[in-house]
Structure 1
Amino acid sequence: MVAALHGIRVIDWTHVLAGPACAYYLGQLGAEVIKVERPGRGDAMRHRGGSDAARASQGMSTAFLTQGAGKKSLSVDLETPKGREVFERLLRSADVLVENHRPSTLERLNLTERHTRDINPRLIHCAMTGYGRDNPMSGSPAYDVNIQAISGLMALTGTQETGPIRTGAPIIDYATGLAGALGVMSALMSRSHSGEGAFVDVSMLETAFALMSSTITDYRLTGTEPQPRGNAANSRSPSSGTFPCQDGHLSLGVNEEPQFRALAVAIGRSDWLRDPRFAAPEERDKNRSALVEDLTAVLRTKTAHAWEEILLAAGVPCARLRSLAEALDLPPAKDRAFATRGPAGFVGLPFRTEPGGTSELPRRLGADTKSVLSELGFGDTDVYDMLADGIVEQPE
């Protein structure tokens, strides 16, 4: 078998998380990825993020390593004439450009989708920004936390008492990376029929909206303003949500009638099935406070671990609340090796496909500068002069 994107060259002209993640996912599908960074410090994410200060000081922070494997590194100053020539040759050789710069930056450098498509009409130009093109906020800067706030996602997280809470991980960044990879794959499929390149306009805000699709539909059709529900389930079923146990917490996803019956029997409360307050879904909803109180009292008699075993054996959707370390030790995580499935043993895609990308470790800034320049047709003298002038960089 041949990898899905074998023979596809991707230019990764991105920084921080969402853009590099998009290029990383394409690399896992078999594409050749060349990361373009400025001389000096390169991608700022090399030096921040994560909890390992020693790695960050060396330009290899854990946040950078997460989506840095399997990529070549070219360090070049695009704002010099010679650096511009390098980049244009690179674009002519490429199938895909992934970038996450503000439109004003692209205009200043004459590298908007108009310019890049003039350089290479078959190029797929994927632009990843906070708010997408063609609107008054197109040029506004944004990070994951800003999008969580402005999209309404934070207003749905937490409770009336706690106020809005950001999700514990940068989910918008990585979801945007996946959205960008999907857009690029779609454009490549279209190009296989038309022979023409395309512009893929990826919005972090719209990605956040996509993650809230059912909530948005409910609001648009009913006009009911969604409220923060804490650990209560979106289904609004009183027998769903997160409940305290003798030790730990248990998440229940009991939304259907057969699931409620299985729950009642498994926890020794078959009497609920004859209780007029709880026997029918409509009555359970009317008497939700009483049901939650009774259910909580029963669950507090055993540990979350014990209830998880009992309820899963009975076919009741449930899960014990776990730490990240515990979650990564679960059989699905270990047997499917998500955390070590990517290139060089880093995190992988949330699906399996064979064969995958390369096994190369994340590269030092500019590690492949000379080899990439040579491949683009620059002679030894040209390369030496560019290195001497600081237009390009490669570590000794």
Structure 2
Amino acid sequence: MTGRGPLDGLRVVDFTHVLAGPACAYMLGLLGAEVVKVEGPDGEAMRWRGGTDSDAAAAGRSTAWLAQAGGKRSVVLDLQTEAGSEAMHRLLDRADVLVENHLPATLRRLGLDDLTTRYPRLIHCAMTGYGRGGALEDAPAYDVNIQAACGMMSVTGTSASGPLRAGAPVIDYGAAMAAGFAICAALVERARTGSGTFVDVSMLETGLTMMASQVADMTATGQVPGPRGNAANSRSPAAGTFPCRTGHLSLGVNEEHQFHALAQTLGREEWLDDPRFADRAARAAHAEAMEAALIDALAPRDAIDWERSFRAAGVPAARLQTLDAALDMPQIAARGFLAPMGDASVPTLPFRIGGHTAVPSTGPRPLGADTDDVLAELGLPDAKS
């Protein structure tokens, strides 16, 4: 970690698996917290699966695991044993935050329920598919299940494609950021009251929060949204993704001044006097004609050329890029967003706080590499078995 982060001096116990929980703990570590990752003797499952590098996964270093493994001390505890359970409770007694994403039934079986009563200053952040309470609190769920359950897949794709999941695990990482937000709020409350609290994060509600504008519209109008394809959520016919001579261009033309700049940059000033395109309502009434006119106007030049011209004119525009091109943008390097992690580069944080540069304090540690040191700090013998 470069410099003291805002969470410097806080200890986080990371008892998580898969993506959402580990990502949340990783982000807290980037903000300066000491993160102690607790795994069973075989390690968490994501070490062994995920990503396209099968050799790395076979070695317990899958790229999916690597993305949020840096900056953590690695401790192996067998929580099925008395020694392992005792070590975990000593860790919690000295911790500020516990992040976990296990089913409530699993926590009860391991004697890890009702922790904020036992440890009054502890902030216990529980991340589950459907949240605590209700008939689904013990229902297992992954990102893809929640994308289906919350309705996100029903609005993704087209009528021809049918429902599609997002191409990235957006629910997992959205839940990770929601949990981090909630934990920081709970830390502020603890500073004021001296008491920890229980933080209950629902992946289902995270998905619905990410669809808030559609939720509000449907509940107000009764109109159930369908697949939108590449059309913009604003429903402006001059906003969306359009083909060019080469490549595709995303336009976000929602305001009148943006439409004026669009028409002028395209050399189609006549649109400004065309009654079909004179204002937002007219364009909406003639959406098909607007789309056809845009496609025709964009056809002579490449998306990369239009992107430069539109940005210079103040028109929100971005060409469609593959991930390798996105990561190669000078803006990414200028902000120091990526951190080297072995053979890979991994995301850090999508925000900055003051002058703090958030990078992992260490690379991923071998499974159990810090067990002896942490147990010695707790005054305990080996609790691996």
Q: TM-score, normalised by structure 2?
A: 0.96
Cα separation, 2, equivalents of 1:307 and 1:227:
30
Cα separation, 1, equivalents of 2:104 and 2:299:
55
Cα deviation for residue 345 of structure 1 reads 5.8
Alignment of structure 1 residues 333-352 onto 2, 5 Å:
333-340=332-339, 346-352=346-352
Cα deviation for residue 84 of structure 1 reads 0.9
Task: Note closer, same or farther for the CA distance 1:342–1:210 as it changes in structure 2 (3 Å cut).
Answer: farther
Cα separation, 2, equivalents of 1:52 and 1:242:
32
Task: Note closer, same or farther for the CA distance 1:284–1:66 as it changes in structure 2 (3 Å cut).
Answer: same
Do residues 359 (structure 1) and 358 (structure 2) align?
Answer: no
C-alpha distance after superposition, 1:222-247 (max 9, x if no partner): 21111211001111111111111111
Listed as ranges, the gaps of 5+ residues in structure 1 are 392-396
Alignment of structure 1 residues 108-257 onto 2, 5 Å:
108-112=109-113, 114=114, 116-257=115-256
Cα separation, 1, equivalents of 2:175 and 2:109:
25
Alignment of structure 1 residues 244-393 onto 2, 5 Å:
244-340=243-339, 346-353=346-353, 354-356=356-358, 358-378=360-380, 382-383=381-382, 386=383, 391=385
Per mean C-alpha deviation after superposition, the further-off stretch among 123-132 and 56-65 is: 56-65
Cα deviation for residue 280 of structure 1 reads 2.2
Amino acid paired to 2:349: L
Instruction: Give 2:66's aligned residue.
Output: 65
Cα deviation for residue 3 of structure 1 reads 1.8
User: Percent identity over the alignment?
Assistant: 54
Cα separation, 2, equivalents of 1:119 and 1:207:
29
Per mean C-alpha deviation after superposition, the further-off stretch among 214-223 and 18-27 is: 214-223
Cα separation, 2, equivalents of 1:58 and 1:331:
33
Do residues 86 (structure 1) and 87 (structure 2) align?
Answer: yes
Asked if the contact 2:239/2:252 (under 8 Å) is kept, the reply is yes
Task: Note closer, same or farther for the CA distance 1:22–1:342 as it changes in structure 2 (3 Å cut).
Answer: farther
Per mean C-alpha deviation after superposition, the further-off stretch among 52-61 and 165-174 is: 52-61
Cα separation, 1, equivalents of 2:358 and 2:238:
42
Do residues 35 (structure 1) and 37 (structure 2) align?
Answer: yes
Amino acid paired to 2:288: S
Amino acid paired to 2:226: Q
Asked if the contact 2:158/2:227 (under 8 Å) is kept, the reply is yes
Cα deviation for residue 355 of structure 1 reads 4.9
Asked if the contact 1:341/1:348 (under 8 Å) is kept, the reply is no
C-alpha distance after superposition, 1:355-392 (max 9, x if no partner): 536521101110101000000012xxx33xx4xxx51x
Cα separation, 2, equivalents of 1:196 and 1:281:
53
Per mean C-alpha deviation after superposition, the further-off stretch among 332-341 and 165-174 is: 332-341
Asked if the contact 1:123/1:197 (under 8 Å) is kept, the reply is yes
CA RMSD of aligned residues (A): 1.6
Cα deviation for residue 65 of structure 1 reads 0.9
* Residues paired across the two proteins, number: 380
Residue of 2, 11, 14 corresponding to 2:13: 11
Asked if the contact 2:31/2:358 (under 8 Å) is kept, the reply is yes
Task: Note closer, same or farther for the CA distance 1:276–1:118 as it changes in structure 2 (3 Å cut).
Answer: closer
Cα separation, 2, equivalents of 1:76 and 1:194:
33
Amino acid paired to 1:48: R
C-alpha distance after superposition, 1:237-282 (max 9, x if no partner): 1111111111110111111111111111111111111111111222
Cα separation, 2, equivalents of 1:134 and 1:200:
13
Per mean C-alpha deviation after superposition, the further-off stretch among 156-165 and 54-63 is: 54-63
Q: TM-score, normalised by structure 1?
A: 0.93
Cα separation, 1, equivalents of 2:51 and 2:28:
23
Asked if the contact 1:242/1:250 (under 8 Å) is kept, the reply is yes
